[in-house]
Structure 1
Amino acid sequence: MLLILLKYLQYFFKNLNFFLINFKIRCIMTFLTSFIITFFLSPYFINYFNKNKISQIIRKDGPITHYSKNKTPTMGGLILLLSILFSVIFWSDLSNKYIFFSLSIMILYSLIGFIDDYYKIILNNPKGLSPYKKLFSQSIITIIILIFIYINNPEKLYLQFFIPFLNKIIKYDLNLILYLIISYFIIIGISNSVNLTDGLDGLLIMPIIFISLGLSILCYFSGDIFFSKYFNFIYIKNAKELIIICLSVVGSGLGFLWYNTYPAKIFMGDIGSLSLGCVISIIAILIRQDFLFLIMCGLFILESISVIIQVLKFKYNKKRFFLMAPLHHHYELKGVSEPCIVIRFWIISLILVLFSLIVII
C-alpha cells in the first residue's frame, strides 16, 4: 500500500520515496511493525477476553495438569492475524500476485479457525466444527487458490528434490493434476499438523518462527538471479517479496511468544494455528521448495504421525501405543515438565530447519 501511495507522491518526496522503497528497509520495518503491534495490543486483548470469558476449553481426557488452564484466554491468533495483515499490506508490494495468494488463503483459513473457536467457546460445543466440515472447507479453499496460482503462473511448475551433500537437484515437471495433488496434501497436512502441535504453552509459535526464517532465506535465494543459479534453484521473479510475509510472521510471533510462553497468558486457538500453518505452506509451494519445507516441518509431521499410530493401534486391538497423543502429551504423562518438553521440541525444530538449509549447500 505504501508503495502505491509513493507513486503519487514521489514528485514531492523523492528522498523519502527512495528510502522507503528500499527492500531491506521494508523488511526491517515489516518485522518491527508486526512485533510492536502484537506486543502492545496483546494485553488489551487478554483483558477483553478475560472480561468476556473467552477462555480455553480443556478436553476432559487430557492431562490433569491442563485443568488449571481452563480460564486462560484463547483466540489470540486474532492478534497475530491483524498484525500480519497490517504490516504486510502497509509494507509490501500489493501488485505482487504472490502476496495476494498468500494473504487470501491465510484469511480464508482463519475464518475456518474462527468458526471452530466460536463453536467451542461461544456456543460451548467442545467438539467445535466437525472434522468433515472443517476438511471440506479447507479442501475447497485450497483447490481454488491452487488453481488460480497454476493459471496465473507463466512459468512451468517443477518439483525440486535435493540429494543431501551431493549438490544434486532433481527437477520434475508438474502437470495440473499432479501439482494439485501434491500441493493440496502439503497445505492440508501441514496446517492441520500445526493445529495438533498447538497443545503446550509456547510450543507452536517458536517452530513457526524458525520455519518462517528458513523460508525467508529460500525466498531470497529463489528470487535472486545470482543465488538461484549458484544453488541451482528455479529463479522465481516474484519470490523475494514473500520475505515480507515471512518476517511479519516472525515479528508477530515473537511479540505473541512474550505472552504465550509458560505459564501462558493467552493461547492462539484454531484461528491462529490454521492460518499460520497454511500461510507457510503456500509460501513453500510458491517458491517450489516442497521437499525442503517438509524437512523443516518434521516436528509437525511427527506429531501427526503419533496421532495416526494411536488411532490405528486402538482400532486394531483396543490398546494405546502412546500414553496420550499427540506426542507432547505422551511425554507430559511420563512426568517430563511442560517447559522442558517445549524447549526440547524447539531444539528439534531448529535442527530440522538448519538441516534443510545445509542440504542445499
Structure 2
Amino acid sequence: MLYTLLSPFADTFPGLNLFRYLTFRTGGAIMTALVISFLIGPAVIRWLKSKQRGASNIRDDVPEGHLAKAGTPTMGGFLILIALSLSTLLWADIGNGYVWIVVLVTVGFGSIGFMDDYLKLTKRNSKGLPGKLKLLGQIVVAGIASAWFLYLTPDPLAAGLAVPFLKDTLINLAWFFMPFAIFVMVGASNAVNLTDGLDGLAIVPVMIAAGCFGLIAYLVGNAVYSNYLGIHYVAGSGELAVFCGAILGAGLGFLWFNAPPAMVFMGDTGSLSLGGALGAMSVITKHEIVLAIIGGLFVLETVSVIVQVVSFKTTGKRVFAMAPLHHHFEKKGWKEPTIVIRFWIIAAILALVGLATLKLR
C-alpha cells in the first residue's frame, strides 16, 4: 500500500524513492510484523484463554510429558496471520498478482486451521475438524491459487518444472501442472502441521525457509541476477521478498510467546497457513524441488509418519517409538529443548544446501 501511495511522488520528494526498493520494504515488513506481534500478542492470548473454558487441546496419542501443557491455548497462529497480513498489505505492491496468490493461500489455509482450532478451544475435545474436510478445503484453495498462477504467468514458464543443478532446464508438465502445484501447497502445509509438536519447533524452521525464499524471490524476480545464476526469471516474483520479510517478523513475534514454556501454541491456524505459503512461493518462483531440500526437516517428519503407518499396517511393527520423528526422540529420553535446538540446526544446514543449488548449475 505504501509503495502504491508514495512511490509515484519519489521524483518530487527524493526521500520517497526508498519505497521503490524491495530491500527497504522487506526490512519495513519485518519490523512492522514484529511490532504488531508484540503489541497485540498479550491481548490475543488473553482472548484465546477466555474462549478455551477448560477445553483440552492435548491429544491422547502424545508423550506423557505433554499433559503438563494442558490449559495452554492453541490457535496462536491467529497472531501470526494478523501481523503477517497487515504488514504485507502495508509494504508490498498491492497491484502485484503474485502477492495476492500467496495471501489467498495463507489466509485460506489459515481460515481452515482457524475453524479446526476454534473447535478444539470451545468444544472440549482435541479433534477439531474432520481430516477429510480440512483436506478438501486445502485442495480447493490451492486449486484456485494454481489456476490464478497459470493465468498470470506466460508459457512455457507457467506449467514448467525447473530442475536444480541443471541450467535452463524446464520440464513442461502441461495439464499435470495443476495437480502438481496443489500437491506442493497441500503437502507443504500438512508437513509443517506435523512438525508443530514441541514449543518453538516449527516456527524457526519456517522462518529459515521463508528467509531462503525471500532471497530466491528477489533473485528470480531480477532479470540480471537470474540470468547470471542460470535460474528462470519470473517477472514480478521479487515482490514476494516483502511477504517473506513479513513472515520473519511475525514469526519472531510469535516465538517470543511460544518459547518454552509456551504461553500459546501455533495450532493449525499457523502451521497450515505458513506451510501453504511456503508451497505457494515455491510454485511461483519455480523452485518446488528446492523447497523439498530447504524444508527437508518437514519432509523428514512427514516421511516418519508415512513409514510408521505403512510398517504397522503391513507388518504390525513400528519403526519408530512414536511418530512424527520428534516424538520418537522424546520417547528415547531426549529433553524437549535438546530436540528443538538440534532440529533447528538440521533445518539451517538443509537451508544452506538448498541455497547452494542456486549457484551449482
TM-score bin, normalised by smaller chain: over 0.9
Shift of 1:118: 1.8
Partner of residue 278 from structure 1, selected from 265, 276, 279:
276
Q: Which residue of 2 is the match for residue 68 of structure 1? A: 68
AA paired with 1:255? Answer: G
Is 1:159 aligned to 2:158, yes or no?
no
Q: How do residues 1-361 of structure 1 correspond to structure 2 at under 5 angstroms?
A: 1-6=1-6, 10=9, 14-53=13-52, 57-157=57-157, 158-163=160-165, 168-169=166-167, 171-361=169-359
Structure 1 residues 52 and 175, CA gap change in structure 2 (3 angstroms): closer
Matched positions, count: 356
Q: Residues 294-340 of structure 1: CA distance to partner in whole angstroms, max 9, x if unpaired?
A: 10111111111111111112212332221111010010011000000
Q: Using the TM superposition, name which of 222-231 and 173-182 deviates more.
A: 173-182
AA paired with 1:310? Answer: Q
TM-score, normalised relative to structure 2? 0.94
Shift of 1:86: 0.4
**Unpaired runs of at least 5, structure 2:** none
2: distance between equivalents of 1:177 and 1:116? 32
Shift of 1:233: 0.8
2: distance between equivalents of 1:144 and 1:200? 32
AA paired with 2:20? Answer: I
Three-state SS of the structure 1 residue aligned to 2:163 is strand
2: distance between equivalents of 1:262 and 1:328? 16
Shift of 1:265: 1.1
2: distance between equivalents of 1:115 and 1:190? 19
2: distance between equivalents of 1:294 and 1:7? 37
1: distance between equivalents of 2:73 and 2:41? 11
Structure 1 residues 56 and 23, CA gap change in structure 2 (3 angstroms): farther
1: distance between equivalents of 2:254 and 2:87? 15
2: distance between equivalents of 1:252 and 1:44? 16
**Would you say the 8 A contact 1:225–1:235 is kept in 2?**
yes
Shift of 1:127: 1.8
Q: Residues 228-253 of structure 1: CA distance to partner in whole angstroms, max 9, x if unpaired?
A: 11110111110111100001001110
TM-score, normalised relative to structure 1? 0.94
Q: Using the TM superposition, name which of 326-335 and 128-137 deviates more.
A: 128-137
Q: Using the TM superposition, name which of 339-348 and 15-24 deviates more.
A: 15-24
AA paired with 1:279? Answer: A
Q: Residues 152-209 of structure 1: CA distance to partner in whole angstroms, max 9, x if unpaired?
A: 212422211123xxxx336234244221122121111111010010000000000001
**Would you say the 8 A contact 1:72–1:265 is kept in 2?**
yes
Shift of 1:32: 0.4
Shift of 1:13: 6.6
Across the aligned residues of Structure 1 and Structure 2, the Cα RMSD in angstroms comes to: 1.8
Q: Using the TM superposition, name which of 31-40 and 11-20 deviates more.
A: 11-20
2: distance between equivalents of 1:151 and 1:11? 32
**Unpaired runs of at least 5, structure 1:** none
Shift of 1:292: 1.1
2: distance between equivalents of 1:200 and 1:14? 49
**Would you say the 8 A contact 2:57–2:125 is kept in 1?**
no
